[in-house]
């Protein structure tokens, strides 16, 4: 059957902006996260896959109901019911188990993006890291079992290719059980032991499942479109994937503590957000989930930020997960640098440098939040903190591993020289403000980190004279910050403002000043009292900051976790523990976190799941546990 492309997007065929209230969206925190370390999916409570991009995290979506209720989904579950009895991750894995209680019986559904042995069908050209013994199967596998009674079930697979800009054209490959869908560019194969029928742009099946009976369906997109043929094969693929995740988690070091489950889930989330072929890590799985309900602060986070390097290494090394840390370091060494040797603030997960931003105006957006963006225009901003993020991450990695990888030294030297060239200049800051550049304290701070860590690494590399020179400049930056960035004994957002900024909580964490310094203590306490709402931390007050945008935003979860760590640093153990307990209580039902929290409603906001948040959680939890040991 010949594939065609519509002249008008299916998700909004008349050019109207539909009101999403007609078809409510689940809360962001209600979604479960699946991953095979190549791409990820979001599973809604009703059993629908509402977000999946293939073949990689940053590819166009084939299921996009997350951003428009008409932009494609894939449901497997009981007919006529939408609220499950229970959902959980199978312990130690990224496999989701959903239990359904219906009037006539009980069901259990298992969902995973499966991982198996490396095979000839794996694409070696996509890997810049040495391939391991396992690789993504490039298959979404779903099984459904009736454990009591009998239940009528349904399967509805309705892909909407290229962010719902391409029609799905279906072709039956094998009678009733295998069908391919394509838009002419991307092809996926649906395989099942249910009786399939094609209804326009969707495939559908119905069946009454009897007690003890198991059925399956699978969606594949690999070059050979390989998928399981039977329910037993599907179950074997799920069990193999379970072993992969548990074997991986066994390599970590987790304290025997009630908070261990949060550390393990955060570690699994971070691993799930890593891109195995290159070692990159996406900031989040999604694009354009709003930072304020119905607002315009909607960004594409499916890329790798260099500043995340420091926090990535902090978190991974703290848990003993050094392999992933090393892969990320090699990714940093691989990427193309600017003409002056500096790194961009962000890259594509394949290392590409052009992340031109565009809007998808045919999509309604999550719960009416528009515009929907793909790409990220901040990639060409000047953010002077990137130098320090890279140098600190390499220094941490070198301390943990005992050696400095030789191929990283030219990168490091260029970053130090870049920091020397720009530290006196204004920039957009850590929060990527789209207003006028300012002399942000956090940017100066991270330039100091670049010189301080560069000096230490120069000593390790055997260039002590260079280390002395760089340390002298680090001291000059420190003096400048203490002269211009402090007013009334408190660190401020930038040199020309009295406003507070949560990024200054990093001052004791990067060892700029000792935590006993009166200015550090005063800053942490000021942020805790004046930059919080219901105890949760804002990045900054939007009415005091020219960020080039309108509207409000929620409290930033990473900033609240930073405050936990900073309170612990200054000796406020009880306050740190209380805030941490409050933050952990606001985890999603599956212990995941988005970027922000609406402290009034308790709803999570922003892209999800958010790597930065989970990294900060790991550091905060480890800080408080270590503080308990010292009491």
Of the three residues 250, 282, 303, the one that is the final residue of a domain is 250
Q: 226 and 300: one domain? A: no
Cα dist. 257→196, 262, 428, 628 in Å?
A: 48, 10, 40, 11
Task: Determine the Cα–Cα distance for residues 602 and 307; give it in Å rounded to an integer.
Answer: 28
* Whether residue 555 sits in one domain with residue 500: yes
pLDDT of 41 strictly over 60: yes
Question: Do 188 and 285 sit in the same domain of this protein?
Answer: no
Say if CB 558 and CB 620 are below 8 A apart. Answer: no
What does the DSSP 8-state code read for residue 54? S
pLDDT band at 630 (very low <50, low <70, confident <90, very high): low
Neighbouring residues of 220: CB distance < 8 A, sequence distance ≥ 6: 137, 138, 139, 140, 188, 189, 191, 226, 227
Q: Which of 250, 276, 291 is the last residue of a domain?
A: 250
Q: Comparing 191-200, 319-328, 364-373, which segment has the lowest mean pLDDT?
A: 319-328
Query: Is residue 285 in some structural domain?
Result: yes
Give the relative orientation of helices 385-401 and 409-422 as an angle to the nearest 10 degrees: 150
Instruction: Indicate whether 15 belongs to any domain.
Output: no
Give the Cβ contact number of residue 6 at 10 Å: 12
Same domain? 343 vs 403:
yes
Kindly state the tokens that stand for 334. Answer: 């691989």
Are residues 213 and 333 part of one domain? Answer: no
Degrees, nearest 5: CA angle 265-107-24 = 70
What residues does 438 pair with on adjacent strands? 427
**Do the domain assignments include residue 6?**
no
Q: Is a pLDDT exceeding 70 seen at residue 631?
A: no
Count helices and strands (H / E) in the chain.
14, 28
**2 is a domain residue:** no
Is the pLDDT at 21 greater than 60, yes or no? no
Q: Is residue 12 part of a domain?
A: no
Largest CA-CA distance found in the chain, in angstroms, rounded: 78
Q: Is residue 478 situated within a structural domain?
A: yes
Q: Which residue has the higher pLDDT, 127 or 158?
A: 158
Locus of tokens 């009591």: 148
Residues 231 and 378 in one domain: no
Which of 137, 163, 136 has the alpha carbon at shortest distance from 52? 163
DSSP E strand boundaries for 28-133:
32-35, 40-43, 48-53, 61-63, 73-78, 86-89, 96-102, 105-117
Residue 437: pLDDT over 60: yes
Residue 268's H or E segment, with its range, is helix 260-272
> What pLDDT is recorded for position 172?
94
Q: Final residue of a domain: which of 192, 217, 250? A: 250
**Co-location of 233 and 298 in the same domain:** no
pLDDT, one tens digit per residue, over 529-557 is 999 999 999 998 877 766 556 666 679 99
Residues 164 and 300 in one domain: no
Q: Given a cut of 90, is residue 236 above it in pLDDT?
A: yes
Q: How many domains does the chain have?
A: 2
> What is residue 9's predicted lDDT score, i.e. its pLDDT?
42
Q: Is residue 4 part of a domain?
A: no
**Same-domain pairing of 292 and 398:** yes
88-134 pLDDT tens trace: 999 999 999 999 999 999 999 999 999 999 876 555 556 677 778 89
Element containing residue 215 per DSSP (H, E): strand 214-220
Residues 146 and 272 in one domain: no
CATH code for the domain in which residue 571 is found:
1.50.10.10
Range of the domain at 225: 20-250
**Which one-letter DSSP state was computed for residue 516?**
T
Quick: pLDDT tens for 296-344.
889 999 999 988 766 777 788 889 888 888 888 889 889 999 888 889 9
Asked whether residue 509 is assigned to any structural domain, the reply reads: yes
Same domain flag for 576 and 515: yes
Separation between Cα atoms, residue 27 and residue 601, nearest integer Å: 11
CATH number of the domain that residue 170 is part of: 2.70.98
The partner residues of 53 in beta bridges, in order of sequence, read: 61
Detail the DSSP E strand segments found in 125-175: 134-158, 169-174
Q: Label residue 76 by pLDDT band (50, 70, 90).
A: very high
Digit-coded pLDDT (tens) for 266-291: 999 999 999 999 999 999 999 999 98
pLDDT tens digit sequence for 159-168: 999 999 998 9
The 10 Å Cβ neighbour count of residue 497 is: 18
Same-domain status, 219 and 283? no
């Amino acid at each position: 059957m010949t594939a065609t492309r519509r002249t008008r997007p299916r998700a909004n065929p008349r050019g109207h902006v539909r009101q999403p209230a007609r078809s409510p969206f689940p809360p962001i925190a209600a979604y479960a996260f699946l991953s095979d370390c190549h791409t990820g999916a979001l599973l809604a409570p009703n059993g629908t896959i509402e977000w999946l991009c293939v073949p990689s995290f940053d590819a166009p979506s084939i299921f996009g109901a997350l951003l428009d209720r008409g932009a494609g989904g894939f449901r497997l579950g009981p007919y006529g019911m939408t609220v499950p009895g229970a959902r959980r991750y199978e312990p130690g894995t990224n496999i989701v188990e959903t239990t359904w209680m219906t009037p006539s019986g009980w069901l259990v559904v298992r969902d995973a993006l499966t991982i198996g042995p490396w095979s000839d069908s794996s694409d070696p050209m996509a890997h810049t890291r040495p391939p391991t013994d396992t690789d993504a199967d490039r298959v979404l596998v779903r099984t459904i079992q009736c454990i009591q009674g009998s239940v009528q079930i349904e399967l509805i697979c309705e892909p909407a290719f290229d962010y719902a800009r391409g029609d799905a054209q279906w072709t039956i490959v094998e009678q009733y059980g295998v069908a391919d869908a394509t838009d002419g560019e991307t092809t996926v194969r649906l395989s099942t032991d249910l009786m399939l029928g094609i209804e326009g742009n969707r495939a559908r099946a119905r069946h009454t499942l009897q007690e003890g009976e198991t059925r399956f369906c699978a969606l594949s997109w690999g070059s050979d479109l390989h998928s399981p043929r039977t329910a037993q094969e599907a179950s074997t693929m799920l069990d193999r994937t379970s072993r992969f995740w548990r074997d991986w988690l066994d390599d970590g070091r987790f304290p025997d503590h009630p908070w261990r489950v949060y550390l393990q889930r955060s570690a699994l989330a971070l691993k799930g957000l890593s891109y195995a072929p290159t070692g990159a890590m996406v900031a989040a799985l999604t694009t354009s989930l709003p930072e304020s309900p119905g607002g315009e602060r909607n960004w594409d986070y499916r890329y790798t930020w260099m500043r995340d390097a420091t926090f990535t290494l902090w978190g991974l090394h703290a848990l003993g997960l050094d392999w992933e840390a090393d892969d990320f370091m090699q990714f940093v060494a691989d990427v193309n640098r600017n003409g002056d040797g500096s790194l961009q603030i962000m890259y594509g997960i394949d290392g590409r440098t052009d992340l031109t931003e565009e809007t998808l105006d045919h999509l309604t957006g999550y719960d009416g939040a528009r515009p929907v963006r793909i790409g990220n225009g901040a990639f060409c901003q000047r953010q002077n903190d990137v130098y320090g993020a890279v140098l600190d991450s390499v220094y941490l990695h070198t301390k943990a591993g005992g050696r400095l990888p030789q191929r990283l030294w030219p990168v490091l030297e260029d970053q130090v020289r870049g920091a020397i060239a720009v530290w006196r200049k204004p920039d957009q800051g850590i929060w990527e403000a789209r207003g006028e550049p300012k002399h942000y304290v956090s940017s100066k701070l991270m330039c100091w980190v670049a010189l301080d860590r560069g000096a230490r690494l120069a000593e390790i590399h055997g260039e002590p004279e260079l280390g002395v020179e760089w340390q002298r400049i680090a001291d000059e930056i420190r003096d400048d910050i203490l002269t211009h960035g402090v007013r009334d004994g408190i660190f401020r957002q930038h040199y020309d403002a009295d406003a507070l900024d949560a990024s200054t909580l990093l001052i004791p964490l990067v060892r700029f000043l000792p935590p006993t310094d009166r200015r550090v203590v005063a800053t942490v306490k000021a942020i805790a009292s004046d930059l919080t709402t219901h105890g949760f931390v804002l990045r900054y007050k939007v009415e005091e900051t020219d960020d080039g945008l309108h509207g409000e935003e929620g409290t930033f979860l990473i900033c609240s976790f930073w405050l936990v760590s900073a309170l612990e640093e200054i000796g406020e153990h009880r306050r740190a523990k209380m805030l941490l307990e409050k933050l952990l209580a606001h985890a999603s039902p599956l212990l995941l976190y988005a970027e922000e929290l609406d402290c009034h409603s308790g709803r999570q906001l922003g892209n999800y799941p958010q790597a930065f948040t989970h990294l900060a959680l790991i550091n905060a939890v480890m800080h408080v546990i270590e503080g308990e040991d010292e009491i």
